[in-house]
């Protein structure tokens, strides 16, 4: 018997599996679906970019699609020189940094003791936290509370009410529960206390989930405009999202009335588009640094519990 004929009679090697026609069709449809889904999220940004770079006549006539028509950069020059835009950008950056650090710190301090079975009243405390996920005091009582605490029209009111997110806290708690208890016991034998164990043992091992939850907090603080709309009327502490909201709902051209050159060479639509794009860039720059922790942190932190 020839070698080729002998090989044809042998079974397929282990580890190899033939893909059926239906599986191939399913894979192709998956690729098509996710490509279309990605395009639906990407194309609006491309259109905004094209509008921000297009000439006044092209934007007004509606000839701008995915490519700019009549390239110009005066809209970005106007936005970057706008004191209100720059001030709101500074407020949003400060809010994101301070709010994320404080929220992550307090959420971690809450999650660590709740991850210990030996904690007395643990189930009752968890029930109280979960209860707040379903019911809240309401908008008016919350506003009256902030007013009585003299926090209205102040910077802390933008992050203090949202410093502990119960959902994020439960993810961190589940991650702590998945860590080996032997590490904590060996640290106790060396004389370490609870704070030292948390800082020197638990936190270094929890970087994936902490980075993921930190990204959640950062995006939430950066995108939040409702809290500022309710509590803030002082233009000096208005964050970026509230500035963009007022920019988009303002009557056409009102924000250009004090700048004659910008009113002649640009349009309200191009100014709005460039402002939105510039406000999106800072938070997009954060994700690449946390990407390697993102998937691992969410999966490991949510498997148990």
The pLDDT tens digits of the residues spanning 151-208 come to 888 898 988 888 888 888 888 888 888 888 888 888 888 777 888 888 888 888 888 8
Residue 7 has a pLDDT of 46
Give yes or no for a contact between 211 and 123, defined as CB atoms under 8 angstroms apart: no
- In 3D space, the residue among 218, 232, 252 whose CA is nearest the CA of residue 88 turns out to be 232
50-104, pLDDT tens digit by residue?
888 887 777 777 777 788 877 778 888 888 888 888 899 899 999 999 999 999 9
d(CA 87, CA 190): 50
Nearest-5° Cα angle at 117, 114 to 120: 75
Write out the two tokens for 43. Answer: 């194309």
Residue 301 has a pLDDT of 47
Residue 305 has a pLDDT of 43
- Mean pLDDT score, 30-48: 89
- Mean pLDDT score, 217-246: 87
Predicted confidence (pLDDT) at residue 260 exceeds the cutoff of 70:
no
Predicted confidence (pLDDT) at residue 256 exceeds the cutoff of 70:
no
Which is higher by pLDDT, 38 or 69?
Answer: 38
Number of H helices and E strands in the chain, helices first, is: 16, 0
State the first-to-last Cα distance of the chain, in angstroms, to the nearest integer.
61
Residue 101 has a pLDDT of 92
DSSP string, 1-67: --HHHHHHTSPPPTT--PPPHHHHHHHHHHHHHHHHHHHHHHHHHHHHHHHHHS-HHHHHHT--SSS
Residue 35 has a pLDDT of 92
Q: State the chain's mean pLDDT as an integer.
A: 80
d(CA 170, CA 190): 29
209-231, pLDDT tens digit by residue?
888 888 888 888 998 888 888 89
Instruction: Indicate the pLDDT class of residue 33, thresholds 50, 70 and 90.
Output: very high
Distances (CA, A) of 265 to 207, 261, 270: 49, 6, 10
Predicted confidence (pLDDT) at residue 1 exceeds the cutoff of 60:
no
Q: What Rg, from alpha-carbon coordinates, does the chain have?
A: 27
Which is higher by pLDDT, 261 or 100?
Answer: 100
110-135, pLDDT tens digit by residue?
998 888 888 888 888 889 888 888 88
- In 3D space, the residue among 45, 52, 47, 38 whose CA is nearest the CA of residue 65 turns out to be 47
- % of the chain residues with pLDDT over 90: 10
């Amino acid at each position: 018997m020839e070698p080729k004929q002998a090989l044809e009679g042998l079974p397929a090697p282990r580890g190899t599996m033939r893909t059926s026609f239906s599986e191939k069709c399913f894979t192709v449809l998956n690729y098509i679906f996710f490509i279309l889904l990605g395009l639906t999220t990407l194309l609006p940004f491309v259109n905004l970019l094209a509008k921000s770079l297009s000439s006044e006549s092209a934007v007004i006539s509606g000839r701008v699609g995915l490519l700019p028509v009549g390239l110009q950069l005066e809209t970005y020059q106007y936005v970057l020189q706008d004191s209100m835009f720059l001030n709101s950008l500074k407020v949003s950056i400060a809010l994101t940094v301070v709010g994320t650090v404080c929220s992550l710190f307090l959420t971690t301090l809450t999650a660590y003791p709740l991850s210990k079975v030996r904690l007395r009243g643990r189930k009752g405390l968890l029930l109280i936290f979960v209860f707040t996920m379903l019911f809240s005091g309401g908008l008016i009582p919350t506003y009256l509370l902030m007013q009585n605490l003299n926090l209205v029209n102040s910077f802390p009111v933008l992050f203090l009410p949202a410093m502990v997110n119960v959902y994020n806290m439960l993810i961190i708690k589940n991650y702590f529960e998945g860590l080996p208890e032997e590490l904590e016991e060996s640290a106790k034998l060396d004389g370490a206390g609870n704070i030292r164990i948390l800082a020197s043992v638990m936190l270094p091992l929890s970087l994936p989930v902490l980075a993921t939850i930190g990204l959640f907090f950062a995006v939430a603080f950066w995108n939040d405009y409702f809290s500022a709309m309710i509590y803030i009327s002082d233009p000096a502490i208005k964050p970026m999202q509230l500035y963009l909201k007022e920019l988009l709902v303002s009557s056409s051209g009102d924000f250009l009335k004090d700048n004659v050159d910008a009113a002649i060479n640009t349009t309200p639509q191009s100014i709005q588009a460039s402002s939105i794009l510039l406000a999106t860039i800072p938070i997009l720059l954060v994700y690449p640094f946390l990407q390697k922790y993102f998937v691992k942190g969410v999966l490991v932190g949510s498997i148990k519990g």
